[in-house]
């Protein structure tokens, strides 16, 4: 049984705020917002639909994993638009076999690499490229999005995921915070596993499977 079944949202959010502070202190992590670089990143992206580089919330990552039928220590994790590396660091701390971050913004990537170096013994790598053009490594099983780009790039990325599946068939699981492009997942035959809604608000995160 995980915390979302035991605690109301306000207490659950507070718990993860404290837990994030603990991780930041223990590992000396630093992942700033880089909103000011948005226009530069949009100009570099092939579809010009990059979104602001803002760290993800902790709650969707940790709680969302409970809804994915995976063994973390046997799974490879990929974060699209990893920014300054918050979720990359958390995935490594969580114990994923291998962690990969894709990020177009070189400045953000420097922060992410610095954070990765503080997680001793973790297998972490980065790809500095336009997400729409990256072939998905064929051992990836868990994919994370925090609304990193618009529909054009998301469509291209989902096509890359499906191409990877055809090369190497295995279940693909997606954890998507602020899922504004979720219609594309339905359109491209991903199956909704779970979603959480904010109290009196929009969908907070959703979990998907492709097989």
Name which residue leads in pLDDT, 105 or 168: 168
Q: Provide the domain count of the chain.
A: 1
Considering the entire predicted model, what is its pTM?
0.93
Helix or strand holding residue 93 (H, E): helix 86-94
Domain with 144, as residue range(s), is 3-210
Residue 194 belongs to domain with CATH number: 3.40.50.150
12-55 pLDDT tens trace: 889 999 999 999 999 999 998 877 665 556 556 667 787 778 88
State the helix-helix crossing angle for 86-94 and 9-27, rounded to 10 degrees.
90
Q: pLDDT tens digit string along 122-175?
A: 999 999 999 999 999 999 999 999 999 999 999 999 999 999 999 999 999 999
- CA angle at 123 for the pair 122 and 126, rounded to the nearest 5°: 120
| Average pLDDT, rounded, for the chain | 91
């Amino acid at each position: 049984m995980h915390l979302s079944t035991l605690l109301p949202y306000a207490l659950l959010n507070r718990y993860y705020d404290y837990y994030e502070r603990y991780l930041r202190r223990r590992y000396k992590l630093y992942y700033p917002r880089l909103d000011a670089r948005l226009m530069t990143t949009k100009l570099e992206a092939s579809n010009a639909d990059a979104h602001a580089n803002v760290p993800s919330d902790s709650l969707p990552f940790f709680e969302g994993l409970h809804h994915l039928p995976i063994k973390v220590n046997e799974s490879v994790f990929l974060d699209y638009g990893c920014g300054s590396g918050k979720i990359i660091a958390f995935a490594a701390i969580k114990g994923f076999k291998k962690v990969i971050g894709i990020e177009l913004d070189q400045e953000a990537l420097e922060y992410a690499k610095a954070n990765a170096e503080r997680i001793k013994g973790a297998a972490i790598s980065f790809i500095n490229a336009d997400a729409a053009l990256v072939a998905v490594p064929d051992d990836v099983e868990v994919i994370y999005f925090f609304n990193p780009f618009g529909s054009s790039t998301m469509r291209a990325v989902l096509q890359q995921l499906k191409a990877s599946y055809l090369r190497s068939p295995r279940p693909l699981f997606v954890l998507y915070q602020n899922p504004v492009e979720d219609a594309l997942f339905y359109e491209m035959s991903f199956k909704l596993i779970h979603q959480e809604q904010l109290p009196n608000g929009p969908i907070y995160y959703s979990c998907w499977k492709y097989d």
